[in-house]
Amino acid sequence: MLSTTLLILSAVLLRTRRTHGHQTIWHPSMYGFNVTEQTFPYDNRPVTPLANGTFEQWWFHGHLDYPPNHGDFLELPAGKPATVEIACNKGLTSYWASSEGHTDVSQGDNPCPSDDGSFPSGAMHTTGFDDLTGCALAIAYESDVTKIQPENFTVFSVNHTCVWTRFTDFQVPERMPPCPEGGCHCAFFWIHSPNSGSEQNYMNGYRCNVTGSTSKVSLAEPKLPRRCGADPQFGKPHAVPGNCTYGAKQPFYWFQFERNNMFEGTYAPPFYTDLYNFKDGAQNDIFADSYASIPPPSPSQTAVPTPRQQPSATTSSSSSAPSASPSGQAPFGTPPGRCSTCRSKASRTSDVKKQSLFGFQTRKRTFSLWHPF
């Protein structure tokens, strides 16, 4: 009897490993939460990367016809962190019961265990902690998903150390206004390092709701992010603050057949980091009254706007450190690899073994568009 049980468990684990994709936020509010490898004529699981797709294929990952159940919302507590679970397979999360294997195969805070026990695994698309490129959560204040266009999404939270841990905090601005009746819609975005894979985007949609809001201020119209940070690999040793987009910003839509808003080349993908003026944590300057005025950005612009209203003490403290659970999350506001806690976490999680990221080799880079000028 015991041997039969072990055999069944081994088969489930093997199936889970074979169906590992890449990374996403798993939550019942997700469009396509129960999509499997067999649902579409092609592999369109939520963790499947998106590249060279039509708008219908990449928008909401092509899962608009697979909405969440009525009443399932991703809750966003104003002024506090929203803790989510990032993994390459639903079986690695708290929602394992509805996974294809129907078995809990989680390994603590590891978002994607590798077959040989090494870390990070290939699905994490990073050569190490210092190679992380950040993820973003964006929101559209519209309950009818069919009315939402790419330009309607505003990035409200960024985590520079995503996708290093399964439990990940996204800080929510304190001044987020309440959602309309029926809720809002949110989306998860990630573009990984060119050192660790091909040109890929990640987008998943969720029905979401802002909780605990006491604000009446609306979000500003989101603008296109601009590449303005230090970019030494492409001959830009210093940041150009005057070339940054300040205030509300759109997410990146890149490397698709249709509806791109970013046109960087293969080896210079856009990242949710300081390179595009996405600070770690809550994006507290996205509101209609955040700035009195914003000078037109350009490489020669020397004037930099100052936010009219600084974050409150509550927001500042909540965005400088993670919530009590999970423990060990890298401190917010600190770029990857630049603090002792971050390095300590990286060394603990990595655990000696290194690998070639399952065949993802570092490629020679060539200069690409430093967008936009």
pLDDT in tens, 297-306: 999 999 999 9
CA nearest to 197, candidates 22, 351, 65, 56: 22
12-16, 125-129, 186-190, 295-299 — which is least confidently predicted?
12-16
- Tokens of residue 225, six digits: 């992010």
pLDDT in tens, 54-105: 999 999 999 999 999 999 999 999 999 999 999 999 999 999 999 999 999 9
Tell me the whole-structure pTM to 2 decimals: 0.79
18 or 312: which leads in pLDDT:
312
Say how many residues make up the chain: 373
- HSE-up of residue 5 (Cα within 13 Å, Cβ side): 2
Q: Is the pLDDT reported for residue 335 higher than 80?
A: no
pLDDT in tens, 34-56: 999 999 999 999 999 999 999 99
For residue 343, give the DSSP letter. Answer: H
Q: Is the pLDDT reported for residue 289 higher than 70?
A: yes
Do 113 and 92 form a contact (C-beta atoms < 8 A)?
yes
Distance CA 254, CA 311 (A): 31
